[in-house]
Amino acid sequence: MIKMKILQLDSSCWAIIILMVFLTSCDSFVEVDLPKSQLINTTVFEDYATADAALTDIYAKIRDKGLLAGTSAGISNKLGNYADELVAYGTISNPNWNFYNNNLLPTTADIAAYWNNTYNQIYAANAVIEGATNATNLSPNNKNQLKGEALFIRALLHFYMTNLFGDIPYITDTDYRKNSVVSRMATATVYQHVISDLEVAIPLLPTKYSSLDRVRPNQYTAKALLARVYLYSNQYAEAANEASVVLNETELFSLLQDPNQVFLLNAKETIWQLQTANAGQNTDEAAYFIFLSVPPPVVSLNTLLVNSFASNDLRKTKWIKAVPSSTTIWYHAYKYKERDFTATSKEYSIVFRLAEQYLIRAEARAKQGDLIGAKEDLNKIRNRAGLSNTLAITQAEIVDAIMQERRWELFTEQGHRFFDLKRNNLLDTILSVSKSGWSTTDRLFPIPQTELITNPNLLPQNPGY
């Protein structure tokens, strides 16, 4: 079922709260079957330090255990294997094989982990919303910030879940009785809730970042997500408008001309990123994707992707690295370059960056017939990569060119390739040729079998499973 976690603080975290020094590495959310404490609603949110710690703990869990984790478990890896960006290697114990072979089952452990971990994080966000709303000692600004960020998190996680599983429940409270018998709602309805949450969140969030490292979302982060949601739901005028708001904020954001600068910690192209767990630690993406010996231990870039780049594309030379043997060349993603600890952290995991907003607006403009504006945005991304302006002329040609540019620009980043193929009804066309195990019903993940048994209201199972 959707396992509702009651926010009950263990003894070590309670001691830290008393001292008002709450570390995000502390496991403050403990799974229990029934509510045993109302501490999260009555005490934690009466003090901003502890309330903020509860919120930052959610970010830590998103980074370490969520869909957006940069580890092997995250969708940057799993959907890269599921589509056509990555090739799996290693032994049969490699958990990538079920994704690479498109052989997911309702009993696949990774699928259950996605469902449970994500809904646990949604539950925690709802607890922050409720706790901040009911708190009597927080300032209005602190209440707004906590609620705005939690609403953004709730919208973000539901957005990814509906794109993976299709019809899903949209959870908005912490009533475990109600949540244990929820039903699924149509993706279009989920999008409506996502948009509504973001519209409420935006005025609650600050316009400026609270720190230079941009690890806490602001209004423009929520607008970046809103632009993506509008694009995915074919609301092109709205998508272009929201992307423009972000792109026009030149005091905060600018497109960097050196591709090697894009993924550095303090890059001005970053809209939002996830902070690493420890000082001096760099991204899990680099630690996972980079390999030093061959054959690759777990994954490599698909040569179909590598060979699709023009030879003079700077993304090929700067974001992809070859590891040759005497007879073969393998390639790995090299967007993040620091696979080990450094004196100070150099790279965090970027979730939203400016280039995507240019590509969102380019596509939205093209779909509305603004071909000149679409080409202007597309060419900004091409020119940064060292390429000349696009030769596309017709609307269809320009849209195709934008889709190809998204493939080159956003590879191995949070499943963009799979989602782009899916929303453009190209999964069967592309993956039935490049993947031997692809079936049309693979466009959706299965609902975990354990959830269907526990809560029959989640039936029916997705087609093909």
Both tokens of 11, joined, read 């003894």
Q: What predicted TM-score, i.e. pTM, was given to this entire model? A: 0.92
3 state DSSP class of 412: coil
| CATH number corresponding to 214-411 | 1.25.40.390
For the stretch 162-183, what's the b/e string if a residue is b when 16 or more beta carbons lie within 10 angstroms of its beta carbon? bbbbbbbbbbbebebeebeebe
Q: Closest by alpha carbon to 262, among 334, 335, 357?
A: 335
Percentage of the chain modeled with pLDDT above 70? 91
Q: Closest by alpha carbon to 5, among 25, 28, 26, 32?
A: 32
Please report, for the chain, the start and end positions of each structural domain, with discontinuous segments joined by +: 1-205, 214-411
Pairing status of strand 299-301 against strand 270-274 = unpaired
Mean pLDDT of 261-273: 98
| CATH number corresponding to 1-205 | 1.25.40.390
pLDDT at 349 over 70: yes
Q: What pLDDT score does 413 carry?
A: 98
CA distance 88 to 77: 10
Per residue, what are the HEC states of 31-78?
A: CCCCCCCCHHHHCHHHCHHHHHHHHHHHHHHHHHHCCCCCCCCCHHHH
CA distance 89 to 93: 10
CA distance 201 to 133: 13
CB neighbours of 278 closer than 8 A, spacing ≥ 6? Answer: 341
Pairing status of strand 299-301 against strand 320-324 = unpaired
Same fold, 1-205 and 214-411: yes
Q: What pLDDT score does 287 carry?
A: 98
The model's confidence at residue 325, banded by pLDDT at 50, 70 and 90, is very high
Q: What pLDDT score does 43 carry?
A: 80
Q: What pLDDT score does 77 carry?
A: 98
378-403 pLDDT, tens digit per residue, is: 999 999 999 999 999 999 999 999 99
Q: What pLDDT score does 440 carry?
A: 98
pLDDT at 148 over 60: yes
CB neighbours of 44 closer than 8 A, spacing ≥ 6? Answer: 7, 9, 17, 50, 51, 54, 131
444-458 pLDDT, tens digit per residue, is: 999 999 999 999 999
pLDDT at 37 over 70: no
Name the DSSP class of 168.
B
DSSP bridge pairs for 353: 270
pLDDT at 303 over 70: yes
Mean pLDDT of 275-290: 98
Percentage of the chain modeled with pLDDT above 90? 89
The mean predicted confidence, pLDDT, of the chain is 92
pLDDT at 117 over 60: yes
Mean pLDDT of 120-138: 96
The model's confidence at residue 166, banded by pLDDT at 50, 70 and 90, is very high
Q: What pLDDT score does 42 carry?
A: 57
Mean pLDDT of 261-277: 98
Q: What pLDDT score does 92 carry?
A: 87
pLDDT at 58 over 70: yes
Instruction: Give me the residue label for tokens 């993304």.
Output: 315
Pairing status of strand 270-274 against strand 86-88 = unpaired
Name the DSSP class of 353.
E
